[in-house]
Amino acid sequence: MGALITRFAPSPTGFLHLGHAASALLARGYARAAGGQFLLRLEDIDAGRCRAEFAAAIIEDLSWLGLDWDGPVRVQSAHVQDYRDCLARLQAMGVIYPCFCSRRDSAAAVGAPQGDAPPPYPGRCRTLGAEDVAARMAAGRAFAWRLDQARARAMVDRRLGWHEVGVGWAEAAPERLGDVVLGRKDAPVSYFLAATHDDAVQQVNLVVRGEDLRAATAVQVLLQALLGWPRPDYRHHALMRDGAGRRLAKRDGDVALRDWRAAGYLPSDVRKRLPEWHSMVTLA
């Protein structure tokens, strides 16, 4: 493996909180400990939920904390055509299908699947005939592209999994998430595909992120196998929780970094509240 490249990839759907800062510090810690690079990527592909003011706030808050990154910030909304090209490749391989089920069914599936994931899609549109699909498309019906898990898995003739740093081999069971959404009319690509594509083009070889995204990793290693992209190692860290044991969320304004700042705290005060990130850096 070449130099270590890690990244922090927040979605600008709210203000960063302490948990984000801890995650970014850990990813940066791995890179710095190995003399590698730490990248920043804004995952703003879901136009309905992302806002420019949050993107600007992310840059400002990280800078305030002294959390510097290497090279330019990658902004996903500037690379839409690349994601469309990936979808076209998957379509040509016959591993995605158009799904016309209600927006409600597929809307939740575009962002990163954190927290309580919706139950897997039952696959109603998987068996639609070509004529039926053509008629619906001709009628201008909105649709989402879904991954046909069974067909995709059948195309990969090897064990599917990844190296989880500090743990070892982790077996991937992507079918547990069902036929996930990979693209939609109003959000040209979902988190699964955009993040996987970007980790490949940015040559990220260690993905450090919260354990809430562990299930998504199974789908991402499947996409890597299908599209011939390298597979990074992964380090899914525990999530920060509040006093009542609930995971921190962007809606919990009281832990937003900017509130600490507004209350007069210094970056050094905030860093003291973070877990001992340097002792969490294990390169096994």
Distance of closest approach, residue 139 Cβ to ligand GLU, in angstroms: 34
The 224-263 contact track toward ligand GLU, x by CB under 6 A, reads ----------------------------------------
**Which one of 24, 43, 97, 144 is in contact with ligand GLU (CB under 6 A)?**
43
Q: Which of 63, 56, 51, 57 is nearest to 24 (CA)?
A: 63
Q: Which is nearer to ligand GLU, 125 or 172 (CB)?
A: 172
C-beta closer to ligand GLU: residue 39 or 225: 39
9 near ligand GLU, judged by CB under 6 A: yes
Contact range with ligand GLU by CB under 6 A, out of 3-11, 115-123, 153-161, 261-269: 3-11
Task: Report the candidate in 106, 101, 93 with the shortest Cα–Cα distance to residue 128.
Answer: 101
Q: For residue 267, how many other CB atoms are within 10 A of its CB?
A: 17
Please calculate the CA angle 75-248-13 and round it to the nearest 5 degrees.
Answer: 30
- Three-state SS letters, 64-120: HHCCCCCCCCEEHHHHHHHHHHHHHHHHHHCCEEEECCCHHHHHCCCCCCCCCCCCC
d(CA 20, CA 209): 9
The DSSP 8-state label assigned to residue 238 in this structure reads P
Stretch that binds ligand GLU, among 4-12, 64-72, 177-185, 272-280 (CB under 6 A): 4-12
Taking CB under 6 A as the binding criterion, the range among 7-15, 48-56, 168-176, 273-281 that sits at the site for ligand GLU is 7-15
Residue 213 within binding range of ligand GLU, rule CB under 6 A: yes
What is d(CA 248, CA 18) in angstroms, rounded to the nearest whole number? Answer: 8
SS3 243: coil
50 touches ligand GLU by CB under 6 A: no
Should residue 193 be labelled a site residue for ligand GLU when binding is judged by CB under 6 A?
A: no
For residues 43 and 233, which CB has a smaller minimum distance to ligand GLU in the complex?
43
Site stretch for ligand GLU (CB under 6 A), options 8-16, 67-75, 93-101, 234-242: 8-16
Position among 6, 10, 224, 240 found at the interface with ligand GLU (CB under 6 A) = 10
From the list 206, 275, 277, the residue with the least C-alpha distance to 29 is 277
Using rule CB under 6 A, residue 110 touches ligand GLU: no
DSSP string, 117-169: PPPPP--GGGG--HHHHHHHHHTT---EEEE-HHHHHHH--S--EEEETTTEE
Calculate helix-pair angle for 80-93, 191-201, nearest 10 degrees.
Answer: 110
Structure token digits, residue 186: 């109003």
Query: Least Å distance between CB 141 and ligand GLU?
Result: 29
Of 18, 95, 112, 165, the one binding ligand GLU (CB under 6 A) is: 112
Binding site for ligand GLU (CB under 6 A): 9-11, 43, 112, 114, 195, 209, 213
